[in-house]
Amino acid sequence: MRTENFNEAFFAQMREEEVWKKLSEDYITNFVWTEALLERYRDKVDWKLLSGSSYVLWTGSMLEKFKLSLDWDALSGNSSGILFTQENLRKYRKRWNWMKLSENGNVVWSVEMLEEFKDDIDWDAFAAGGYHYRSENEAKVSPQLIFEKYQSRFSASRFKDSHLWDTLLECDKDELIKKILA
């Protein structure tokens, strides 16, 4: 015996909405969101979830076509580093959430990018989590270079507790070991 009213149409709609959310954020084997699929289902997908998903390979064409649908806050925190080219940062400069972008450790900053966007970058967020020294980074932006060039942009009271500070100390430690052993 049923004790409550079950509105099948309501639950069918709710299930469909939840499935679209899952399609918008999850990795699904043998399924890739393409520009054509996004165009076709633009009113069905959850753009906030989709924008934050690292499973979507955002092309320049897709960014342009869906720039009004994208959730730029979520996109700024996306873990797909290939999204954050100097060209994309420049073209959508006013749309990015620079605090989230600055703390996003998946952005590979070059010297040129740091210089071009120095007034947009949230330097405390960058120091806290957005800077990761990668030896494979062709630009090889060292923590020493960043500290020397941009130290006036960091908050002195927060810098000592930052990831950049820790990285700077590790590099200094490595240099000291080389001197000792030389």
Nearest CA to 110 out of 144, 81, 139 is that of 139
Looking at the structure, do residues 73 and 129 belong to the same domain, yes or no?
A: no
How many whole angstroms separate alpha carbon 68 and alpha carbon 82? 21
pLDDT in tens, 36-78: 999 999 999 999 999 998 888 899 999 999 999 999 999 999 9
Q: Could you read off the pLDDT of 67-119 as tens digits, one per residue?
A: 999 999 999 999 988 899 999 999 999 999 999 999 998 898 888 999 999 99
Burial of 110 (0-12, 13-18, 19+ CB in 10 A): middle
Q: What is the pLDDT of residue 148?
A: 92
- Asked if 78 and 157 sit in the same domain, the reply is no
47 within domain boundaries: yes
| Residue 73 shares a structural domain with residue 162 | no
Residues 6+ apart with CB under 8 A from 39: 65
Q: What is the mean pLDDT of residues 124-150?
A: 77
Residue 158 lies inside a defined structural domain of this protein = yes
Q: Which of 66, 96, 126 is the last residue of a domain?
A: 96
Residue count of the chain: 182
Are residues 8 and 36 located together in one domain of the fold? yes
SS3 assignment, position 31: strand
Q: Are residues 15 and 45 in the same domain?
A: yes
Domain limit, last residue, from 96, 126, 154: 96
Q: In this model, does residue 27 exceed pLDDT 60? A: no
| The pLDDT of residue 22 is above 80 | no
In a shared domain, residues 7 and 64: yes
Region 11-21: mean pLDDT is: 72
Q: Does residue 26 sit within a domain?
A: yes
> Does residue 9 surpass a pLDDT of 80?
no
Q: Look at residues 47, 70, 96 and tell me which one is the last residue of a structural domain.
A: 96
Is residue 13's pLDDT more than 80?
A: no
Enclosing domain of residue 173: 107-182
Element (H, E) at 75: helix 72-76
Taking CA atoms, 148 is separated from 39, 145, 171, in Å, by 46, 5, 14
101 located within any domain: no
> Confidence class of residue 15 from pLDDT cuts 50, 70 and 90?
confident
